[in-house]
């Protein structure tokens, strides 16, 4: 794409991000979705309703990402054994994940400029450190609430494939592509496609929390929702 045209489209994208996120925040307070979800989380388990986590954004700069909490705060049982991620998800958390309502606080990330509506999903710091020079190209744009990789398989495609979709999106970016991703996202959320991680996608790979370079690639690990 011609650089001036690309820059113009990216400027329009940022303007649309601000306008849409602000309108959605106001609407969700008025309806009131934010208040209902907040109370449901507080009644379901102890701990804060909001969950913040450091993620890696555009140009590999760290930022605080906001989500509604979907897990219990305890990470270990009475015997000191780590509780698997899928066993920590609360009943309301399962519903929030299936409907993607847990992602709504990221509208504030869009408003403050650390995220976009559409873009690569933000990685954790240890995942970003494991990217190859070519894979670092995914950090050329703001991370998104949804993205091309999410509508192509969400949790049930492995990281190298997700990154290939991210790079394809960034290299061939257009406003029309964003519109297409948003419409496909609604369809994905409606069908809850990709919210439950299949067994074959729980193996340890280069971007996994418990990855060890000389570890067998098919060793089982804890599962979890898409980053």
What is the rounded average pLDDT of the residues 105-129?
Answer: 96
Is the pLDDT reported for residue 205 higher than 90? no
* pTM for the predicted model, two decimal places: 0.85
Q: Is 148 helix (H, G, I), strand (E, B) or coil?
A: helix
56/62 Cα distance (integer angstroms): 4
pLDDT, residue 217, reads 47
**In contact, 26 and 109? CB cutoff 8 Å:** no
68/93 Cα distance (integer angstroms): 8
Among 30-44, 97-111, 116-130, 143-157, the range scoring the smallest mean pLDDT is: 143-157
pLDDT, residue 223, reads 40
Stronger pLDDT, 174 or 155, i.e. the higher one: 174
**In contact, 175 and 167? CB cutoff 8 Å:** no
Domain boundaries, the chain: 3-193
pLDDT, residue 227, reads 52
User: Mean of the per-residue pLDDT values for the chain?
Assistant: 87
pLDDT, residue 179, reads 96
Residue-wise pLDDT for 64-84, tens only, equals: 999 999 999 998 888 888 888
100/127 Cα distance (integer angstroms): 22
């Amino acid at each position: 794409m011609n650089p001036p045209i690309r820059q113009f489209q990216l400027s329009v994208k940022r303007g649309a991000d601000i306008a849409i996120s602000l309108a959605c925040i106001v609407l969700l307070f008025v309806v009131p979705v934010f208040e209902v979800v907040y109370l449901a989380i507080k009644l379901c388990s102890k701990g804060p309703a909001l969950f913040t986590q450091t993620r890696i954004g555009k140009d590999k700069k760290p930022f605080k990402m906001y989500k509604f909490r979907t897990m219990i705060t305890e990470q270990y049982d009475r015997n000191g054994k780590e509780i698997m991620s899928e066993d920590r998800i609360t009943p309301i958390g399962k519903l929030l994940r299936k409907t993607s309502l847990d992602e709504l606080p990221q509208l504030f990330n869009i408003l403050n400029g650390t995220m976009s509506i559409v873009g690569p999903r933000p990685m954790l710091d240890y995942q970003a450190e494991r990217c190859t020079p070519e894979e670092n190209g995914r950090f050329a744009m703001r991370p998104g609430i949804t993205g091309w990789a999410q509508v192509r398989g969400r949790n049930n495609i492995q990281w190298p494939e997700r990154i290939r979709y991210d790079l394809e999106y960034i290299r061939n970016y257009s406003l029309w592509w964003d519109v297409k991703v948003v419409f496909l996202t609604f369809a994905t959320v409606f069908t809850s496609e990709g919210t439950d991680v299949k067994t074959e996608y729980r193996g340890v790979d280069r971007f996994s929390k418990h990855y060890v370079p000389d570890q067998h690639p098919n060793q089982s690990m804890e599962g979890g929702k898409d980053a």
